[in-house]
Amino acid sequence: MPLKKLIFKPGVNRDQTNYTGEGGWWECNKVRFISGYPQKLGGWLKYSVTAYLGVCRTLFNWLAAPNYNYLALGTSSKIYVDNGGTLNDITPFRNTYTGASSPQDTDNCIATTDTLTTVTVNINTHGAVTGDYMTFAGVAAVGGIPATSFNGVQFYVTVVNANQFTITVDTAATSTVAAGGGTGITAYFYIPSGNAVASGGTGWGAPPWGGSGTSPTTGWGIAAATAISNPLRYVYFASRYDGSTNYTDLLFNIRNGPIYEWSVSPGFPFPSGNAIELVGTQVPQQVGQILYDTYSGILMAFGATPYGAGSPYTIEPLLVRWASQDDYTNWDPATPASSTAGFLTIQTGSNILRAVSNLGEILVFTERSVTSVTFTGSSDVFSQKLISSDMSLIGTNAVVVVNNVYYWMGTDKFFMYNGRVETIPCTLLQHVFNNINFAQGGQVVGGSIERFFEVWWFYCSSGATVVDKYVVYNYDENIWYYGDCTEGMSRTAWSDSPLRQYPQGASGDDNYLYNHEQGVDADTLPMTSYITSNNFDLEPDGQKFMLVRRLIPDVSFARSTTAAGVSPTVDFTLYPRNFPGSAYMTSNAEGEDFSRAVTQAPGSTVAVEQYTDQVYVRARARQMGVSIGSSGVLGVNWQLGSPRIDVREDGTRG
């Protein structure tokens, strides 16, 4: 019988049974398809010099000035600006208290305990909560702890009560001091930290959490009458060119908080100080998301406190407001002769989840609708048109724009918009949505790798509270593949900016930024990568047993960077079995397993189409699956071609 060429349909299909999907691929990890053939995923390499604080949910790349390529990071605790791998903290301050002149007296506010690094800070009505950050200036040595252990150091705050909190310093005290540190101390409190993981529920029902006085009455262990929700903290960025300085400044807001600006100062390129709250006329006090519409040159707010709102502030979740076209600090529509500021209300849904702009059109997503908002240039300034009221969005960061097309993950399917909303056919629909933690849908992050025509989504699998899975849509070949986030691949934010050489991801494992598609390894460790085919019949209808005697591989090791004297290697494994429901056989009658190593030819200097000539196996079965993969060796890269197997008929009895 002639050699049997093994060619499989590109992409992975888990929405059919293994046997039904004959001729395709069944499972994979850290593999992509190029021109229909699988190959190992590109590697990643640590980019940032230091780790950031909190969980990063947003990356935003912009040019502050020619040759000044900045990346803004929004985490659950901090706002940073990356400059060449160095993360600069620009987080705004909530309050600053100095000496006895402040209502919150800071004179001699430090208390130490002999031998301990835990320090108590006594500032009345400090306003901090556990998890916030603060720093000092002007502290003198106290209790044997030097001044350098206090001044300019960021401290994690643990609140004792409304007038006390504790911090941890890097040097243990040598004496106990009840009140020290000197006079004229300045205490800087950063804006509050947010949640790294979403939580919700109804809590306990005993008083005062909803027990007595509720209807029906609830008690200890019974759900409270009022549900609680602790959502993730999201940061939204925008950039705006300042003609007076010739710099492009950064604007941002934390969801349902005020707008901040970071103006690039004459001390450029760094430092430019901390961001400050935007000051102007009728600036909304709370904003769901800002967006700078480059088409019209207008700063917009999606979800905002209404015009003329007093204190206490109440955000209207469907209200869209915008500043004047010629002045981003003027949000007052009452003087139309000098201002184009205005507002409109999205008509469908109950809450704006995300707004994303592309080519003069802004798509506004609610929990069940998509609305197009466009600049008119008329007295109305912006108009709206409902695009779809029959869709969903699993999380605010699940939207990706690539080549003027929107892609997003819903709660039960994937969507795209290229002039109209369409459902994307997906061969991994059940695999993804039957094993996803919907309570952590807000952690879903979408991204792209345009070089390979890919849209990615990272998500939490069922029961997981950190990102541990990913799924990829290749829009050029209209195929899907997937994998897990082991080996340090968990990503909580993504940027595929044309301003940077590599796509960049924020790590959910160690809080560093990573360059992707740089090298072929998982940072400094080997990457495990494999793909396994569906079962296929060795004889056309599967009636007869077949004996497999040889495997003739077809593998390229191009771009491998193994050390001198080390040949790149992949493992081919055959998975024979006789019936779709039976277990795979792992060895033949002689006890030989069905895995074979395929390596670059020894002594070869060109890692292209150099592989073992043939390997011998003895496998007798009706059906078989094939797997190829690599692990354990640094520098291995591979792409599968069209391998062959040598088979002959071997009867019908087994």
3-state SS assignment for residue 505: strand
Would you say 72 and 84 are in contact if contact means Cβ atoms under 8 Å apart? no
Interior angle at CA 595, CA 594 and CA 597, nearest 5: 145
Interior angle at CA 495, CA 452 and CA 418, nearest 5: 60
Helix (H) or strand (E) holding 353: strand 352-358
3-state SS assignment for residue 450: helix
CA distance 413 to 393: 9
pLDDT for 619 equals 76
Q: Which of 497, 634, 481, 484 is nearest to 47 (CA)?
A: 497
* Cα 184 to Cα 67, 140, 273, 597, distances in angstroms: 41, 10, 22, 71
Cβ neighbourhood burial of 432 (10 Å; 0-12, 13-18, 19+): buried
CA distance 275 to 237: 12
- Name the phi and psi angles at 442, rounded to 5: -65, -15
CA quadruple 465, 469, 474, 479: dihedral sign:
negative
Cβ neighbourhood burial of 63 (10 Å; 0-12, 13-18, 19+): middle
Would you say 527 and 520 are in contact if contact means Cβ atoms under 8 Å apart? yes
CA distance 33 to 608: 18
pLDDT for 267 equals 76
Strands 158-161, 93-98: parallel, antiparallel or unpaired by DSSP? unpaired
Cβ neighbourhood burial of 598 (10 Å; 0-12, 13-18, 19+): buried
Cβ neighbourhood burial of 2 (10 Å; 0-12, 13-18, 19+): exposed
CA distance 555 to 629: 11
Which residue stretches of the chain have pLDDT < 70? Answer: 1, 200-229, 538-543, 578-613, 651-654
CA distance 204 to 196: 22
- Output the average pLDDT for the chain: 89
Would you say 647 and 549 are in contact if contact means Cβ atoms under 8 Å apart? yes
Read off the amino acid at residue 32.
R
CA distance 272 to 269: 7
Would you say 235 and 253 are in contact if contact means Cβ atoms under 8 Å apart? yes
Structure tokens at 4: 């049997």
pLDDT for 542 equals 62
pTM of the predicted model, to two decimals?
A: 0.90
Which value, to the nearest 10 degrees, does the dihedral of the CA atoms of residues 314, 317, 323, 329 take? Answer: 40
Helix (H) or strand (E) holding 515: strand 513-516
3-state SS assignment for residue 420: coil
- For the stretch 178-212, pLDDT in tens is 999 999 999 999 999 998 888 765 444 444 444 33
pLDDT for 211 equals 39
pLDDT for 359 equals 86
Q: Which of 468, 447, 439, 442 is nearest to 60 (CA)?
A: 447
Structure tokens at 454: 């890919």
* Cα 257 to Cα 213, 285, 341, 626, distances in angstroms: 33, 7, 20, 54
CA quadruple 173, 177, 183, 187: dihedral sign:
positive
Structure tokens at 598: 């395929």
H, E, C per residue of 312-333? CCCCEEEEEEECECCECCECCC
CA quadruple 544, 550, 554, 559: dihedral sign:
positive
Residues in the chain: 654
Number of H helices, E strands in the chain: 1, 53
DSSP sequence for 374-400: EE--STT-EEEEEEESS---S-TT-EE
DSSP sequence for 53-86: SS-EEEEEEEEEETTEEEEEEEESS-EEEEETTE
DSSP sequence for 548-609: EEEEE--EE-TT--PPTT---EEEEEEEEESSTTSPPP-B-TTS-BSEEEEEPPTT-S--SS
pLDDT for 224 equals 47
Would you say 470 and 456 are in contact if contact means Cβ atoms under 8 Å apart? yes
Read off the amino acid at residue 464.
A
